[in-house]
Amino acid sequence: MKRKEINRMKLEFDAISQNEAFARQTLSVFAAGIDPTVEEISDLRVVVSEAVTNAVVHAYKNQGGKITMTAVLYDDRSMKVKIRDTGCGIASIEESMQPLFTTDPSGERGGMGFPIMQAMSHAFKVKSTLGKGTTLYITFKFSE
């Protein structure tokens, strides 16, 4: 049987670091509609924070821009989330997904964002075009 969509939201916000908290709070409240466990909410908060941070610091190089976040809840207790920026894009997705890979010259970043997002979600996909931007497709599956 095909899963049925039960709720959907779309949000656009500025790519500034204050909105990392805004985005993860908003998605937690949205997901609360299907009553995930505390651990599941904690995982999704981490994933959203990493994704939004990447858009703020890498895609837009802290110069600001727009981020859109779309989320859909399904009756099989899954949630699909799409996080999109129209920033600089990623030259090699394969390389950037490797643990410890970072283009950050400051030495402050560990290159663990993508591996963490992958480990804490059910499915994780990145699409990116240089000069046009990046979209993350993330699926969560909450326990019964």
Ligand X SMILES: Nc1ncnc2c1ncn2[C@@H]1O[C@H](COP(=O)(O)OP(=O)(O)OP(=O)(O)O)[C@@H](O)[C@H]1O
Distance between CA atoms of residues 83 and 73, nearest Å: 15
Select 66 or 77, whichever has its Cβ closest to ligand X. Answer: 66
Out of 65, 87, 113, 133, the residue judged to bind Mg ion by CB under 5 A: 113
Residues 52, 56, 58, 64: is their CA dihedral positive or negative? positive
Site for ligand X in 34-93 (CB under 6 A): 50, 54-55, 58-59, 85, 87-90
**CB environment 92-110: b (16+ within 10 A), e (fewer):** eeeebbeeebbeeeeeebe
121 belongs to the binding site for Mg ion (CB under 5 A): no
Distance between CA atoms of residues 108 and 94, nearest Å: 22
The answer to whether residue 7 is catalytic is no
Is residue 91 within 8 A of residue 126, CB to CB? The reply is: no
Select 29 or 91, whichever has its Cβ closest to ligand X. Answer: 91
Out of 45, 96, 120, 124, the residue judged to bind ligand X by CB under 6 A: 96
Q: Which residues are known to be catalytic?
A: 50, 54, 109
Residues within the interface to ligand X (CB under 6 A): 50, 54-55, 58-59, 85, 87-90, 96, 101-104, 109-114, 134
